[in-house]
Structure 1
Amino acid sequence: MNSDYDTIYSQFEKNFKEEASPFLTDTSINNTLEIEKIRFNNAKKYNIPVNKIAGSSLARYTKDMLRHCQPLFFIYYIFSMLSELSYYLLIWSTLKCIYLYFTGSEKAFSSKLSYSVSLVFFTCIIIYNAITQGYARNLLFKCSKINIQNVKTKINIFNAFCCFISVVLVAAMALFTYSGSGKVPAASFSLFEIFIFTVAILSISGVHNVIYSSHFTPFITIGYLYMLHKPAETASAISHYIELSLAGFLVSHHLAIPEYKKDVHWQIEFNQTLRQKIITFRVYGALAFFITSMLFAICLRQLIITGLSPGLIIFTAVTLITVVLMFSEIISCNCILKECTAKQP
């Protein structure tokens, strides 16, 4: 990312306003921008690299700030971390299997291999990045209210401490794993299992992202009302959702409603954009519905085999709720697509 603080903040401000306008109030947007401006100013003042507060991607940073202002931010954060972990594991397991295959192990791609140390290593990297960035952001905001000396030194010391802890954890896991003491259970997976895990995480994470980018409550309400056989309420919910989507479209294209209504070209473009988005939602929803349905079936089977346990009951209940939500999401997509087809200019 560019190291010009003012340029990066200006671009972030522009992107954030465009993306957040359909979802957040002007007050929330201005408050967020004000806080981030303080962090950027202090980072510039103390010569702190931009990636310490904004990461390496401006698009990801913008989305993080938007999700942070929306409900249940921690779900997005967990999915983001799990997605990173799945990427690391899939790449590493693929390279490991290729290496073993060419060194004489013909069953490298089908056999289960140990990933105990790899799991700890990649988890430490992800948590290290999250904690150090969070500490830097918190310190850069606080130092505008209270006089904090040696801000850059404090950040560097904290980063070094976290790095030391991570190295110790990885070294300890490697020692216990390769010493053969058996004190640490081995985490063994096949390449196929890691691939399935990656697909599952990315599918569910994708569903979460696209739904949160599409007004979650009115979107799910459509499917819920349809299942209750309430045609009038369903039609009203669809209209409400389309109006919200149109508001976002107008903001992103810098259009006013009168201008939009006069120009058929913009109406056609909005209809096509909405259709493409809903089709994407439906694909993600179908994948997530299939995965969560299989997971729910596995949970039920485990309940029958092993008996009732609080943890498994809670997990099964959450899985069932997710299945219902995904089913409602698919129905919502179908209803909106029918409406788009009926009202196509």
Structure 2
Amino acid sequence: MSENTRYQIQSVSYNTVAEAFSEEAKTLIPDSAIRKTLDTEKIRFENASQLQIPPEKLVNHNTARYCKDLLRKQQPLPLIYLILSFFTEISGWLIPYGIIIEICHYISKKTGSPFPFPPLYGLILIVGLVAANTLYRQYMLKLLSKPLFSQETSERRQSVTAAKKALTHSRLLVYSVSAIVILSTILLSILLEWNKKVSLRLSTCFIAYVVCILLSGIHNILYSSHFLSFFTVGILLLIRRSEAELQTATRQYLDLCYLQMLTPAHKTLNDLADNTELEKKLRESLHSRMITQRIYDLFAIVIFFTLDAVCISQLRSNATPAYLCFFILSILCTCILFLAFISANHILKHTK
């Protein structure tokens, strides 16, 4: 493939990322953050082109997920997103691994032979490999995000060679260290007999997968909306802050919602200020949405409160890690829904 052809492919991929990211982020983060992110991405794609890294590999064969990763890094608490993504990726491997475990159990029962391997070892291997892939990818993206090459041909060749060596060495280092950590953890588990204390079956893998997916789903829903402004209203109500702070937070949330509804029509808040009829329609639309949300929140609170009670009763008689994880998730959902109900109830008063 020629240099020009490769650059065209990179440019198309960059344009695709830029368009998708801008569309998703324009109502969630400031324009300055969008421009800064796109500038970094342009450098990243140019560096990848020079290093002959395919654009598909750069975006990890998933442009939508890549754009979401970029957006979450610009939003509050990006570490939570990274942790959830890490555990969700691990949980994705647990289902096929759980199926393998069940097949091995079935074969062992039929043949009367002992189980071929402790399930804990496979779990350690999965965690180690996912961690290694994540660390190497983060390093690669960080390396590519800075200008690596000068205009001089000789210096450019040296920079390309140095960058390729850095990526190769980092890959070797990360996977070597991961292999050592995996083997050390397995050895430690043998010495401490962790495999006798940890039971892993398909049901446990499935529950862990569901918990991770639900947590990631809740996180994505919250971060894909103006959740900070929305929940700030409820938090200020609970801690009884001043009326001025509460009014400011409410106004900020309303402005963000109006802007989100105006953006598809290529309008701004200035257009809204000059159009009383349009403002009335948007306020009515938001009022209807808040009423619906309040009703759904109330029903969901009742359901999750019942689920909390069931989990507590189950934990008393059968306290397993799976039930504990599910109980924590249920409590978290209950608290979020309660806070959402309070926020929606207050915002509803300002949309009449």
TM-score greater than 0.5 by the shorter chain: yes
Equivalent-residue separation in structure 2 for 1:236 and 1:293 (angstroms)? 37
Distance 1:34 1:220 in 2: 32
Give the secondary-structure state (helix, strand or coil) at the position aligned to 1:199: helix
- Which string of whole-angstrom CA distances, capped at 9 and with x for unpartnered residues, describes residues 91-139 of structure 1? 31134214533x2649xxxxxx943222221112221221111221222
Q: CA RMSD in A?
A: 4.6
Preserved contact between residue 301 and residue 334 of structure 2 (Cα < 8 Å): no
- Of 158-167 and 27-36, deviating more is 158-167
Match of 1:34 among 26, 39, 42: 39
Superposed CA deviations along residues 293-326 of structure 1, whole A, max 9, x for unmatched, are 8889999x9xxxxxxxxxxxxxxxx999957851
**Distance in structure 1 (CA, Å) of the matches to 2:188 and 2:214:** 34
Provide the rounded CA distance (Å) in 1 between the counterparts of 2:62 and 2:68. Answer: 10
Structure 1 position 225, deviation (Å): 5.5
Question: What residue number does 2:142 align with?
Answer: 138
What amino acid maps onto 2:209 in structure 1? T
| 2:341 alignment partner, one of 307, 323, 331 | 331
Give the drift of 1:275: 8.4
Counterpart of 1:250 in structure 2 is: 262
Alignment match, 1:116? 120
- Which residue of the partner structure matches residue 94 of structure 1? 99
CA distance in 1, matches of 2:283, 2:211: 36
Name 2:199's counterpart in structure 1: 188
1:200 aligned residue: 211
Aligned equivalents of 2:61, 2:295: Cα separation in 1: 30
Paired with 1:121 and 1:227, the residues of 2 have a C-alpha distance of 45
Contact 1:296 1:319 in 2 (8 A): no
In the other structure, the counterpart of 2:167 is 155
2:3 is matched with none
**Distance across 2 between alignment mates of 1:167 and 1:267:** 58
1:1-345 matches, cutoff 5 A: 4-101=9-106, 103=107, 105=109, 114-144=118-148, 148-150=159-161, 151-173=163-185, 181-186=190-195, 187-224=198-235, 240-252=252-264, 254-255=266-267, 325-332=335-342, 335=345
Q: Structure 1, residues 255-305: CA drift from partner, whole Å, max 9, x if none?
A: 567599669999999888888988998899888878888889999x9xxxx
Higher mean alpha-carbon deviation, 86-95 vs 159-168, is at 159-168
Q: Give me the whole-angstrom Cα distance separating, in 2, the residues matched to 1:284 and 1:201.
A: 19
Q: CA deviation at 1:34?
A: 0.7
In the TM superposition, residue 78 of structure 1 has moved relative to its aligned partner by: 0.4
Q: Which amino acid aligns with 2:132?
A: Y
Aligned equivalents of 2:129, 2:299: Cα separation in 1: 32
After superposition, the Cα gap between the structure-2 partners of 1:223 and 1:263, relative to the gap in structure 1 and judged at 3 Å, is closer
Identity of counterpart residues, as a percentage? 24
Q: Which amino acid aligns with 1:133?
A: R
**Structure 2, unpaired ranges of 5+:** 1-7, 111-116, 317-327
Query: 1:335 corresponds to which letter in structure 2?
Result: N
TM-score by length of 1: 0.69
C-alpha spacing 1:175/1:319, structure 2 compared with 1 (3 Å): closer
Between the aligned partners of 1:265 and 1:327, the Cα distance in structure 2 is 27
Q: Partner of 2:54: helix, strand, or coil? A: coil
Could you give the per-residue CA deviations for residues 49-94 of structure 1, whole angstroms, max 9, x where no partner exists? 3355432211111111111111211011001111111221133113
Q: Are the equivalent residues in 2 in contact too, given 1:282–1:333 (CA < 8 A)?
A: no
- Does structure 2 conserve the Cα–Cα contact (< 8 Å) formed by 1:278 and 1:333? no
Deviations 1:118-162 (A, max 9, x none): 222111222122111122122223443786351223212321332
* Stretches of structure 1 lacking an aligned partner (at least 5 in a row): 107-112, 302-317
In structure 2, distance between residues paired with 1:153 and 1:92: 35
Which one-letter code corresponds to 1:214 in the other structure?
S
Equivalent pair of 2:215/2:329 in contact (CA under 8 Å) = no
Q: Distance in 1 between matches of 2:84 and 2:143?
A: 26
TM-score of the superposed pair, with normalisation by structure 2 = 0.68
Contact kept, 8 Å, 2:297 with 2:337, in 1: the verdict is no
- Displacement of 1:203 after TM fit? 2.2
Deviates more, 1:80-89 or 1:163-172: 163-172
Secondary structure of 1:71's counterpart equals coil
Work out whether residues 203 and 288 of structure 1, in 8 Å CA contact, stay in contact via their aligned partners in 2: no
Aligned amino acid, residue 37 of structure 1: K
Match for 1:58: what amino acid?
A: T
Aligned-residue offset at 1:38: 0.6
Q: Aligned pair in 2 of structure 1 residues 338, 264: CA closer, same or farther (>3 Å)? A: closer
| Alpha-carbon separation, structure 2, partners of 1:275 and 1:12 | 36
CA distance, structure 2, for counterparts of residue 278 and residue 58 of structure 1? 34
After superposing the two structures, state which structure 1 stretch, 286-295 or 70-79, moved more: 286-295
Larger radius of gyration: 2
Q: Distance in 1 between matches of 2:233 and 2:265?
A: 26
> The residue matched to 2:27 in structure 1 has which SS?
coil
